[in-house]
Amino acid sequence: MDILTWTYILVGASFALYIGIAIATRAGSTKEFYTAGGGVSPLANGMATAADWMSAASFISMAGIIAFSGYDGSVYLMGWTGGYVLLALLLAPYLRKFGKFTVPDFVGDRYYSNKARVVAVICALFISFTYVAGQMRGVGIVFSRYLEVDINTGVYIGMGIVFFYAVLGGMKGITYTQVAQYCVLIFAFMVPAIFVSMQLTGNPIPQLGLGGTVEGGEFLLDKLDGVLGDLGFAEYTSGRKDMIDIFAITLALMVGTAGLPHVIVRFFTVPRVKDARLSAGYALVFIAILYTTAPAVAAFGIYNAINTVADKPVNDLPVWVDNWKKTNLITINDINGDGIVQYTPNPATNEMIIDKDIMVLAAPEIAKLPNWVVGLVAAGGMAAALSTAAGLLLVISTSVSRDLFRTFRPSMTEKTELRIARGAAAVAVIIAGWFGINPPGFVAEVVAFAFGLAAASFFPVIIMGIFSSRMNKEGAIAGMISGLVFTLGYITYFKFGVNLFGLSPESVTSSNWWFGISPEGIGSIGMLINFVACFIVSKLTPAPPQYVQDMIQEIRIPRGAGKAQEH
């Protein structure tokens, strides 16, 4: 069967499974809609968390960034994996013991203020909409290639699918759907990686194949360095970013992870604090399978792509190039008219432009793997994008219904709240679709912005809310606003200043970055601003009420502590 037929079969079967699960696990109460009733097992929650966490950025875009950036792309690996360890060990158990459904819920109660709750809702909406933009872009890319439709149509189809099972099932439906999606995406990521590793290095383990030798006995990375060097590019294993920017991006991604509302809410779906820790451990193992494989997929992909296209006749290019040219995500332009594809780092002479987001999806075609593998990767890409999109849409809907509407209408019934939550999710799907059609950047870049916003707005307030009984509502509000405004303003200026403010392109180049820090890493500075504002303002204003201070002490004490002394 051809690629299109396999894609219809595998993507269609996976969609049928997701929708079937959503129908079977339809939420009937707000507790089921928000936290799946709090009865999910640690193993299932670990899988669901991994799927929620490994978005289109992880599955589709991360290996693409590493493929084209080499060593510099490692910041995404270090930041995202390190951040999850930070979340699992430092925050998840305490937030679960606190017992609130959402981050704004935690902020509102911990800081005894509806104003703080509303500010947290605004932060959550900025983070979630920025993050979901990347997911819908990923959906459009997958559909545009494998279903042979344009990206916009692909986004519309994805909107319909997400709307159905996110709005119908809530967290209960999403949780069990994400378990299935994890199985699909990890299988889809690993199978072609194993195939290509065997093909290039003779080793079936991609992580070991990355350090193996290719035909001729030369190490793969040495060969790749030479191939890129011959074309005028920097060596794959060399870094070009300033160390301060590498540090800033890694830090922003790490602490941003610990402030992501759609990941934090997963720890409320298990029955006990112990289960929250256990599910975090499971999730880390499940995540590591993909993250340790991504560098190998990146190196294999760029090595194969260059060898099949660079310096080849324009009229005799591989089939995979023709397939992706239809999506406009790869372009060939014979600038000098010699009939040969020149791939160079100079935009004035470069005749091949490959979108970073296609590397994982195109890798099976480049390596000439069986058509069913290509269709499987399409299903995996859809699973990765849709699983995270659904989780984000749920955060948006609960932020609006529970944290905003209930704040001003505390007497509304559970039925009304559930209806508002579903309506908010429907509106969020439409807005997310618009962002998918008009993305502010490639997938992983957009997701990095979301992490920066989370780092600058939520992380200091959550960490100080748990470990500082002196932290008060005035400090929290000042910290969230200052961190969010600074980070959002910096990203907007340097990424969209030319279009929004009519700035000259020269004024928003990397040479003008503050301290040499890119928009992807500026969240680390926003976080520091948040911490400073929290500390200074809380010191200059009254301490929290005594009951709040006692509550903070209580959530930091393990259950059962002190019982041995009593006997």
**pLDDT tens by residue, 70-79:** 888 888 888 8
Q: Is 334 helix (H, G, I), strand (E, B) or coil?
A: coil
Q: Is residue 189 part of a domain?
A: yes
- Residue 563 confidence (pLDDT): 46
Q: Is 498 helix (H, G, I), strand (E, B) or coil?
A: helix
Residue pLDDT, tens place only, 437-489: 776 665 667 888 888 999 999 999 999 999 999 999 999 999 999 999 999 99
Closest alpha carbon to 179 in 266, 101, 100, 260:
266
Asked if 176 and 198 touch (Cβ cutoff 8 Å), the reply is no
Q: Is residue 296 part of a domain?
A: no
Least confident of 178-187, 348-357, 387-396: 387-396
Provide mean pLDDT across the span 364-371: 91
Q: Is 8 helix (H, G, I), strand (E, B) or coil?
A: helix
Q: Is residue 351 part of a domain?
A: no
Location of structure tokens 């790869």: 330
Residue 150: burial class (beta carbons within 10 Å; 0-12, 13-18, 19+): middle
Question: How far apart (Å, rounded) are the C-alpha atoms in residues 261 and 272?
Answer: 19
DSSP string of 518-562? -TTTTHHHHHHHHHHHHHHHHHHSPPPPHHHHHHHHHHTSPTTTT
Provide mean pLDDT across the span 140-155: 77
Token couple for 114: 């509806």
The larger pLDDT score, comparing residue 188 to residue 389, is at 188
What is the helix (H) or strand (E) element at residue 335, kind and residue range? none
- Residue 218 confidence (pLDDT): 92
Question: How far apart (Å, rounded) are the C-alpha atoms in residues 84 and 283?
Answer: 9
Least confident of 24-33, 336-345, 391-400, 431-440: 24-33
Provide mean pLDDT across the span 283-304: 92
Provide mean pLDDT across the span 329-346: 87
Location of structure tokens 């008219």: 337
- Residue 97 confidence (pLDDT): 76
Token couple for 1: 């069967």
The larger pLDDT score, comparing residue 505 to residue 534, is at 534
Question: How far apart (Å, rounded) are the C-alpha atoms in residues 136 and 445?
Answer: 14
**β-bridge mates for residue 330, sequence order:** 354
Question: How far apart (Å, rounded) are the C-alpha atoms in residues 31 and 8?
Answer: 36
Q: Is residue 192 part of a domain?
A: yes
CATH number at residue 509: 1.20.1730.10
Q: Is residue 42 part of a domain?
A: yes
Closest alpha carbon to 86 in 246, 254, 253, 208:
254
DSSP string of 493-521? HHHHHHHHH---GGGGSGGGSGGG--TTT
Residue 560: pLDDT over 60 = no
Closest alpha carbon to 324 in 265, 286, 365:
365
Residue 491: pLDDT over 50 = yes
- Residue 95 confidence (pLDDT): 76
Provide mean pLDDT across the span 283-289: 89
Closest alpha carbon to 177 in 350, 21, 314, 374:
21
Calculate the alpha carbon distances from 494 to 79, 150, 157 in Å: 22, 29, 32
Location of structure tokens 């690993």: 190
The larger pLDDT score, comparing residue 565 to residue 104, is at 104
- Residue 89 confidence (pLDDT): 73
Residue 189: pLDDT over 90 = yes
Q: Is residue 354 part of a domain?
A: no
Closest alpha carbon to 392 in 266, 262, 265:
262
Provide mean pLDDT across the span 414-424: 80
Residue 113: pLDDT over 70 = yes
Q: Is 340 helix (H, G, I), strand (E, B) or coil?
A: strand
Q: Is residue 477 part of a domain?
A: yes
Q: What are phi and psi of 502, to 5 degrees?
A: 70, 25
The larger pLDDT score, comparing residue 25 to residue 168, is at 25
What is the helix (H) or strand (E) element at residue 266, kind and residue range? none
Question: How far apart (Å, rounded) are the C-alpha atoms in residues 512 and 533?
Answer: 26
Amino acid in the structure at residue 232: G
Q: What Rg do the C-alpha atoms of the chain give, in angstroms?
A: 24
Residue 562: pLDDT over 60 = no
The domain tally of the chain equals 1
For the chain, percent helix, then strand, then coil, each to nearest 5?
Answer: 75, 0, 25
Closest alpha carbon to 175 in 380, 14, 32:
32
- Residue 32 confidence (pLDDT): 53
Residue 561's pLDDT band (boundaries 50, 70, 90)? very low
Percent of the chain with pLDDT over 70: 91
- Residue 543 confidence (pLDDT): 94
Asked if 345 and 233 touch (Cβ cutoff 8 Å), the reply is yes
Q: Is 181 helix (H, G, I), strand (E, B) or coil?
A: helix
What distance, in Å, lies between the first and last C-alpha atoms of the chain?
Answer: 72
Residue 146's domain comprises: 3-289+361-558
Amino acid in the structure at residue 183: C
Q: Is residue 398 part of a domain?
A: yes
- Residue 564 confidence (pLDDT): 40
Q: Residue 496: which residues within 8 A CB-CB, separation 6 or more?
A: 440
Token couple for 227: 């191939």
Question: How far apart (Å, rounded) are the C-alpha atoms in residues 458 and 477?
Answer: 11
Percent of the chain with pLDDT over 90: 28
Q: Is 42 helix (H, G, I), strand (E, B) or coil?
A: helix
Residue 170: pLDDT over 60 = no
Over the chain, what is the mean pLDDT?
83
The larger pLDDT score, comparing residue 94 to residue 478, is at 478
